Chain A
């Protein structure tokens, strides 16, 4: 079972609307959680990174939240634009891990339509 679960798998929204993506994880002990945006045919680009002591982090129209107690995170996209169409991946790093491997969610594919 994947240690990072994302929902929904995909969603379609109209330009200008908001949307929220969910990420639940079981990775323990927890070091940090990142949200990445991956455009089709490109590598992932970091949007936000949060440690266990942070509840929210913003990057422009992207706002990530983290509840380390319930092991849940969300990514909120405000006033969506066509360029927001991409896959959004939740990635969790395990603390005290010598191999520094990341646990990837399967991603949420967001399609913004005019």
Chain B
């Protein structure tokens, strides 16, 4: 299957700092990428949809000024957690949409980024 990478895999930062997470589709172009957050023992929660060349679409309850998303190219989307606080500590996962056509469009997930805010 297609490969999606995330960097960094783990980050620890102090409260008030900003953290940038990169999501790359390594062997295909992704016009659409998605950012999820996952708390322990819970399923993935969609935060926002990132479209190349346009503004991201945020889910209800997700602060767009706090979670800045930039989809600069067809293979790269970044999520910046601004002024991070301990409650932002979570597992952040991106996915990239692979256009196979028809009902078999795939979403390939990255390996996730563990963010810990002290």
Contact = CB atoms under 8 A, between A and B. Distances in A.
Interface of A: 31-32, 36, 41-46, 49, 51-52, 89, 93, 95, 99-102, 104-107, 109
Contacts of A42: 111-112
Given A45-B109, A93-B103, 14 more contacts: A43-B95, A43-B109, A43-B111, A43-B112, A44-B109, A46-B106, A52-B103, A89-B43, A95-B103, A99-B49, A100-B32, A100-B105, A101-B46, A109-B41
Contacts of A52: 103
- In the A-B complex, the 10 residue pairs with the smallest Cβ-Cβ separation, listed nearest first, are A43-B109, A104-B43, A43-B112, A43-B111, A31-B103, A51-B103, A44-B109, A106-B43, A32-B103, A43-B93
Contact of A51 (B4, B104, B111): B104
Contacts, number: 52
Given A32-B104, A41-B91, A51-B104, A105 B111 contact: no
B97 interface: yes
B44 interface: yes
Contacts of B32: 100
Contacts of A32: 103-104
A106 B41 CA distance: 8
B60 to A, nearest CB: 12
Nearest to A89: B43
